[in-house]
Amino acid sequence: MSDGASEELTTAERIARLQGIRNYLENQDYSYLDLTGVYGSDPLAESPYVVQGTFIPEEIGGTVTVVDADDEAGATLARENLNQMLNNFLPGGYKQRWGNFDLWRGAWHHESEPGHADVGPMCEWRDSFPLTDLLGDVSEVSYTELSFDPENVQVYVPLSVRVTKEDKNDPGYVWIPEKGIVWTGNPPMRTEPLSSDPTTNYLWFKHVRGSFDEDPTPLPASDLIDGFAFDDEREFVRCYYASLLTLYPRDSQEVRSAIVQYRCEDDDRTAFVASEERSQLLTLGLDRTELRSRIDAALDADPLLERDLRFALLRANVWDRLFFDERALRHEFAVQPLMEHLFGIDYWQRVVEDDDMGVFDLSGTGVVEETARLLPGDSDRQLRLLGHESREVSGVFEAIEDNPGVVAELLARCRNEDLLRDFAERALVHSAEHALSTWSNDLTGSGTSFELWYDVNFQARDEDTARIAVYDPIQGGAGIAKEVHERLREGTDTPPDAGLAAQGRCHSATADRATIELLASYPDGSLYDVYRSDRDEFDSLVEATIEGVVDDSEAYSMADLESRVNGRVRTLFETRELAAFYSYVADEYTTVEANVERIPRVVDLALHLNRHVFRDPQIKATYERFADDSGRRDIAELGERLGELTVQCVSACPDCLETDAGLCLHGAGQQGARLNRRLLTAVFGR
Amino acid sequence: MRDRELDLEEMTVAIHRSGNTKLAGSDRPVGDDWDQLITTSALEVGFDHASIIGTFQYRAPRNVPGFIQRKGRGGRDAEDEPITVVVLGSTPTDSYYFHHSDYLSDPSDRHLEIPLDEDNRFIRREHMTAAIIDYCNVSDAVDAQRLFRGRGSPGPDVDYLRRSIDDHRLDVEEWLTSTFAVDDEEAERVLGKFETYLDALDEPVAPGRDDSGYWQFFSRMVAERDDGAFEHIDGLVEDLEADR
């Protein structure tokens, strides 16, 4: 129940109460009623001011009653965590759950504007308020990929969620083009059958309520962290504002994406559906002046890092502008192929055209021309080695050809040094936020997953400080964030800067790098004989190579690294022929890296080998065997083979900074591009 | 059927969910007649079955103590030599345990502790709310029997509870401040919220159709469970829906 206790209850609240009583009668055989039973059945009872019937803690966001919308009496199916409900049952979500593991969806309605679903019938609302109550008097919602007028948006907090059952044996998923929504069965309008339910990612942001402690505890041991604070009662509003669907049309290999936004037609408003998360928050303030100074130094010292960061900015911009604003890409999975084309053009511009700026120096039409050049229609050379289609039928080429102005704008943004530095700072703060979470795990040994938060708009809000934070995933807090705070107050064994820097040291990337260096040391393939005949010698070579690669052996599990390198070599050395091929390519890898001045991708190696004069006919024969028939995407072998010999984690991966999509503020898209382990380690480890 | 070459034989697989154990792929209760049982964390603690010798854990545990508890479901017989297998996935938490597998195989005392925040305000307020009820239970001035069992109908007497709190408000506040070492403001906040909720329990369930207060209605429905309670509730819900 909201604070306005004396306010008269709404009809929805009265119905929810009656349904709660009905559910109690259905599920409890007791002939008595106690206070716990009253609290437990009453949807208006609000934690923590309740008499609990269980010691099991609630997850953040709290719980809601799930109501069977098909049942006339509105039978209660369960009490579930609100975030889980919204993450599975907002428009586009189908899940097998209650009853006899039946198939359910949220009881939202299709009678709305095209591309929108009416979520009004899906929920009874505990509370609703204008978005401007949260954001203040602003002209746009700076959190979201999509554009919203804040004046037109209402935030709704569910009291209960209504779900409706589908036929789990024959759901008959369809897309309704006229309405821009997914549906089931045979609606009386033109539909497009789908082969399965859509893959649905929900777009959301978190807004923190209240202001921050202006007097945090200083941290003299750090020049970067200007203070930390603990807040034992902090509230976040997590707003779900759209569903990003990937559709799989029946009888077609072409997937495509669609976006469904929400409305509440009864109120004639755009709807953001929200949960309110209460927990204990540990906050670190980062000194922006020091951050920027160290970023400048890090990028000046490491040109490879700078170029990789420029591509990360390009990728983030492709996502924001080409995918969301222009809807120029058919589906979200088209971002990666497009980037692969741009990397290919970059290789060509730098190596063949001798242009240091690579792809970033091109105009929009220049990119169109270069893409066409790398997608020949009459042979399987260039990018077609990796299975990309010829320019006549290429979806990537079509997207570039149709949007040369936007492509030119994105490249120009990446050329701009100020924008690059701004992006680097955002990626660094985001990375530090993820690192704080994993370092906190190290400190407490809790093994838990913290909820993450940082002020994504810090550059517009605060000239001096960027805030990063972690909080417990239990409603009200579990005490783990508090324990980390206590450790910081007492003084940690590892200084916080070094602790955060260590989180950027990726085992996966280090093992990849060590494998490449090990093989490159024997370009004639002779390492194969050592591997086969003298395992002790081989192990000592592995050990020595790893020691040469890592900058701080204390930051790694050396046994894990050795195990990984051994595993990689075992895969690469299946036969003497393969061992010779990979050893040769590993040697070429160094040349490619120097040429492109960034961590080489598969496409760089492929284009390099495509124009390479092989010194050894046997190696050439192996290459040609892999390259043959590569024009067919399904059997393009060269890309897979070369992928075995690249550093997979360029900026971040699940082994270092990436985290579950549901935890990261950028989880729905391009999380990896907005993190950078190398920049984190360079700045915090200095 | 037995595969003689691989020395394999069929297994009976059961699934435990929501307190029920059923044969996998059917709704048939299976009792103890299974070779392999698939379960969530529901059986993490306190499920002792002497026949279990092996436990398989899929994906990273939520915490080390939880892992130890799950592992401990195997080998409950003194003669057992139990085994446990963990299959990690690709999430960051799985990766974390991959690099810190010693936390699982040889945990230190630090890893076996679950942080307990005795000053957690959220938890404390839940306990303070319960303590208000406790006050009524231990105070000689309150007839706890009447409060908890009501008079005639099942369920607590919320009117009497409300009056008792009003009559002893200062004592209750003192009880809260001294028991939980909190200031007056915190005690007042919890007490105020509690009273607000008691007021809400008096709200009529369906004004104009059934003006009974919520708690009295609830109590009456429990008494009339088999005597038209469901029909009455459904009728009220229908009426309220029609009003919307």
Interface of B with A in 10-69 (CB under 8 A): 27, 60-64
What pLDDT, in 10s, does the model give residues A333-351? 999 999 999 999 999 999 9
What pLDDT, on the 0 to 100 scale, is given for residue A254? Answer: 84
> What are the CB-based long-range contacts (under 8 Å, 24+) for B222-229?
B222/A24, B222/A25, B222/A30, B222/A31, B222/A32, B222/A33, B222/B153, B222/B154, B222/B155, B223/A31, B223/B153, B223/B154, B225/A25, B225/A31, B229/A25
Q: Which helix H or strand E contains A344, and what residues bound it?
A: helix A335-347
Distance (Å) from the C-alpha of residue B149 to the closest C-alpha of chain A? 8
Residue that is last in its domain, among B79, B112, B145: B112
Interchain CB contact of A27 with B (< 8 Å): no
Give the distance from residue A28's alpha carbon to the nearest chain B alpha carbon, in angstroms. 10
Residue of chain B whose Cα is closest to the Cα of A45? B197
B127 and B238 assigned to the same domain: yes
Is the same domain home to B198 and B126? yes
Paired residues of A278 in beta bridges: A235
The torsion defined by the Cα of A631, A637, A640 and A641, in degrees rounded to 10, comes to -130
The 10s digit of each residue's pLDDT in A301-333 is 999 999 999 999 999 999 999 999 999 999 999
Query: Closest Cα of chain A to B84: distance in Å?
Result: 19
| Residue-level pLDDT at A229 | 94
- The answer to whether the Cβ–Cβ distance between B122 and A52 falls below 8 Å is no
- Distance (Å, whole) CA A241 – CA A668: 12
* Helix, strand, coil content of chain B in percent (nearest 5): 50, 15, 40
**Residue written as token pair 């009501």:** B150
Nearest to B193 by CA among A48, A527, A579: A48
pLDDT at B92: 66
Rounded mean pLDDT of chain A?
91
Peptide bond just before A48 cis, omega within 30 deg: yes
Domain endpoint, select from B81, B112, B143? B112
Q: For residue B6, give how far its alpha carbon lies from the nearest alpha carbon of chain A (Å).
A: 27
Contact B95 A483 (CB under 8 A): no
pLDDT at residue B18, rounded to an integer = 67
Predicted pLDDT at B75: 87
Residue B35 burial (CB count, 10 A): 11
Using only C-alpha atoms, chain B has a radius of gyration, in whole angstroms, of 27
Q: What pLDDT does residue B77 have?
A: 82
Note the pLDDT of residue A629. 61
Last residue of a domain, one of B112, B147, B164: B112
- State yes or no: pLDDT of A634 exceeds 70: no
Q: Are residues B125 and B238 in the same domain?
A: yes
Examine the pLDDT at A5 and tell me if it is beyond 50.
Answer: no
| Confidence band of A30 (pLDDT split at 50, 70, 90) | confident
Q: Are A210 and A235 in contact (CB under 8 A)?
A: yes
Whether the per-residue pLDDT at A4 is higher than 50: the answer is no
| HSE-up of residue A262 (Cα within 13 Å, Cβ side) | 31
- B125 in the same domain as B85: no
Local structure of A197: helix, strand or coil:
coil
Pairing of strands A153-166, A269-287: parallel
- State the residue range of the domain holding B157: 121-243
Is it the case that residue A6 has pLDDT exceeding 50?
A: no
Tell me the mean pLDDT in the region A370-397. Answer: 88
* Residue A288's pLDDT band (cuts 50, 70, 90): very high
Q: Return d(Cα A129, Cα A239) in angstroms, integer.
A: 12
Q: Give the H/E segment covering residue A480.
A: helix A480-490
Predicted pLDDT of residue B229 = 92
Q: Does B222 share its domain with B190?
A: yes
* pLDDT at residue A561 is higher than 60: yes
Same domain, B151 and B217: yes
- State chain B's maximal CA–CA distance in angstroms: 81
Residues 198-227 of B with CB under 8 A from A: 199-201, 203, 205-206, 214-215, 217-219, 221-223, 225
Q: Take residue B145 and report the two structure tokens written for it.
A: 């029997």
DSSP A367-414: HHHHHHHHS-SSSS-GGGGGTPPPTTT-HHHHHHHH-HHHHHHHHHHH
CA distance A513 to A646: 8
Q: Residue holding tokens 């009874």? A: A124
Say if residue B54 is in the same domain as residue B131: no
Dist CA A429 CA A455 (whole Å): 9
> Distance (Å, rounded) from C-alpha B149 to C-alpha A338?
70
Q: What is the pLDDT of residue A556?
A: 86
CA distance linking residue A296 with residue A6, whole number of Å: 58
pTM listed for this prediction: 0.86
Q: What pLDDT does residue B24 have? A: 83
User: How far apart are alpha carbons A385 and A628 in whole angstroms?
Assistant: 8
Candidate from A6-20, A650-664, B102-116 with smallest mean pLDDT = B102-116
Convert the pLDDT of each residue in A193-248 to its tens digit: 999 999 999 999 999 998 887 789 998 889 999 999 999 889 999 999 999 999 99
Which residues share a beta bridge with B213?
B204
Residues B126 and B237 in one domain: yes
Interchain contact B90–A (C-beta under 8 A): yes
Asked if B229 and A25 come within 8 Å (Cβ–Cβ), the reply is yes
Q: Residue A3 — pLDDT band, cuts 50, 70, 90?
A: very low
Q: Dihedrals φ, ψ of B106, to 5°?
A: -145, 65
The CA-atom distances, in angstroms, between A598 and each of A96, A309, A407, A658 are: 45, 9, 21, 21
Helix axes A480-490, A417-444, angle to 10 degrees: 100
For chain A, the first-to-last Cα distance in angstroms comes to 51
Instruction: Give yes or no for residue A369 having a pLDDT over 80.
Output: yes
Pair A452, A437: CB distance under 8 Å: yes
Say if the Cβ atoms of A660 and B91 lie within 8 Å.
Answer: yes
Quote the distance between the C-alpha of residue A270 and its chain's center.
25
Mind listing the pLDDT tens digit of every residue in chain B (244 residues)? 556 677 788 889 998 876 778 888 777 888 888 899 999 878 888 888 888 989 999 888 877 888 888 999 998 888 888 899 999 877 667 877 887 787 888 887 777 777 667 777 888 898 999 999 999 989 888 898 888 888 877 889 999 999 999 999 999 999 999 999 999 999 999 999 999 999 999 999 999 999 999 999 999 999 998 889 999 999 998 899 888 7
Number of domains in chain B: 2
User: Is A494 in CB contact (< 8 Å) with chain B?
Assistant: no
Q: DSSP strand E in A168-247: where?
A: 173-176, 181-184, 192-193, 199-208, 225-247
Question: Which residue is associated with the tokens 């200083």?
Answer: A218
Q: Are residues B105 and B125 in the same domain?
A: no
pLDDT over threshold 60, residue A630 = no
Residue B188 burial (10 A CB sphere; 0-12, 13-18, 19+): middle
Cβ-Cβ contacts under 8 Å for A458 (sequence gap 6 or more): A288, A429, A465, A466, A467
CB B221 to CB A25 under 8 A? yes
- Shared-domain flag, residues B28 and B85: yes
Rg, chain A, Cα only? 28
Same domain, B19 and B126: no
Interface membership of B5 toward A (CB under 8 Å) = no
pLDDT at B178: 95
DSSP β-bridge partners for residue A106: A163
Q: Residue A249 carries which DSSP code?
A: B
Kindly state the percentage of chain A with pLDDT values over 90. 70
Pair of tokens at residue A627: 């390259």
Least reliable range by pLDDT among A197-206, A304-313, A428-437, A473-482: A473-482
Same domain, B139 and B232: yes
Share of chain A above pLDDT 70, in %: 97
Instruction: List chain B residues with CB under 8 Å of A655.
Output: 92, 95
